[in-house]
């Protein structure tokens, strides 16, 4: 049986003891619930732990263009500009060449930011609004592919949209939405403990462990980049 946003809002008001079983929401309550839901999803889009997946997408570069933009009206058109770029590859004839993601301080310190090359090796991302800016260095002289790893966006929803989300999101949304709505309805009875546990459950699933680089198993690197690194998550050495 399809589960809609309207069903989710009904459950939210029922959990707050504002609606009895079998009753339906008034249009004004539905409109208020949608506004709160939009705010909730917008906030979670800004948090890495709130988003359940990354997306790997390949775009085509424009030769000699710097920066490329990404967003609703960017060089690369997407619904919403990414909060961050977590990984980048240059793609040439279906072969991936990993690029290093650099910060604003690194980009600002470049003495020749317009230096051109056939194969850029670095990328700096500025998450401006509404379009983010992608600075490649050196500036690409050819229209290769650029593969970006970015977070998916939890889209805005309408009342009759069907909901399909990973396990745990239904409870996390309903209980958190209840906390947000409760102050507007004084008789409401929210459940902050259950809401906190539901959020912690999905946020823990979305957490990513960082990669640590050492010269050998448990030994810090000395004097340069190691030829191999130890993956503490698997207990194995990697080239």
Angle CA(181)–CA(30)–CA(4) in degrees, nearest 5?
A: 105
The pLDDT confidence band at residue 229, using thresholds 50, 70 and 90, is: low
The CA-to-CA distance between both ends of the chain, in Å, stands at 49
Q: What is the mean pLDDT of residues 129-136?
A: 97
Instruction: Choose between 219 and 73: higher pLDDT.
Output: 73
pLDDT of amino acid 1 = 64
Cα(203)–Cα(145) distance, integer angstroms: 33
* 3 pLDDT above the threshold of 80: yes
Confidence of residue 188 (pLDDT cuts 50, 70, 90): very high
Q: How far apart are CA 12 and CA 120, in angstroms?
A: 51
Q: Which residue pairs, CB below 8 angstroms and at least 24 apart, start in 184-189?
A: 184/32, 185/16, 185/18, 187/17, 187/18, 188/16, 188/17, 188/18, 189/16, 189/17
Whether 223 shows a pLDDT value over 70: the answer reads no
> How much is the pLDDT for 135?
97
pLDDT at 228: 55
Tens of pLDDT, residue by residue over 66-78, are 999 999 999 999 9
What is the C-alpha to C-alpha distance for residues 65 and 138, in angstroms, rounded to an integer? 11
For residues 156 and 178, the model is more confident at: 178
Residue in 154, 142, 134, 141 with CA at minimum distance from that of residue 202: 154
Give the closest residue to 191 by CA, choosing from 200, 179, 199.
179
Q: What is the mean pLDDT of the chain?
A: 89
Beta-bridge partners for 137 = 122
Reduced to 3 states, what is the DSSP secondary structure of residue 100? strand
The whole-model pTM stands at 0.78
pLDDT surpasses 90 at 226: no
């Amino acid at each position: 049986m399809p589960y809609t946003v309207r069903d989710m809002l009904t459950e939210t008001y029922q959990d707050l003891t504002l609606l009895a079983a079998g009753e339906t929401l008034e249009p004004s309550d539905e409109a208020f619930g949608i506004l709160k839901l939009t705010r909730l999803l917008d906030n979670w889009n800004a948090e890495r732990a709130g988003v359940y997946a990354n997306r790997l997408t390949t775009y085509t570069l424009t030769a000699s263009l710097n920066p490329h933009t990404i967003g609703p009206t960017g060089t690369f058109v997407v619904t919403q500009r990414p909060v961050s770029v977590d990984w980048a590859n240059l793609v040439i004839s279906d072969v991936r060449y990993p690029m290093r993601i650099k910060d604003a301080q690194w980009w600002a310190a470049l003495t020749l930011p317009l230096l051109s090359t056939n194969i850029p090796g670095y990328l700096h991302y500025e998450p401006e609004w509404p379009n983010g800016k992608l600075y490649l260095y050196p500036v690409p002289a050819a229209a290769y592919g650029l593969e970006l790893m970015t977070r998916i966006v939890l889209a805005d929803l309408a009342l009759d949209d069907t909901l399909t989300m990973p396990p745990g999101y239904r409870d996390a949304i309903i209980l958190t939405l209840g906390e947000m709505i409760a102050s507007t309805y004084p008789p409401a009875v929210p459940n902050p403990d259950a809401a906190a546990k539901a959020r912690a459950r999905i946020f823990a699933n979305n957490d990513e462990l960082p990669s640590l680089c050492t010269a050998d198993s448990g030994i810090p690197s000395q004097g340069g980049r190691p030829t191999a690194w130890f993956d503490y998550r698997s207990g194995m050495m990697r080239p």
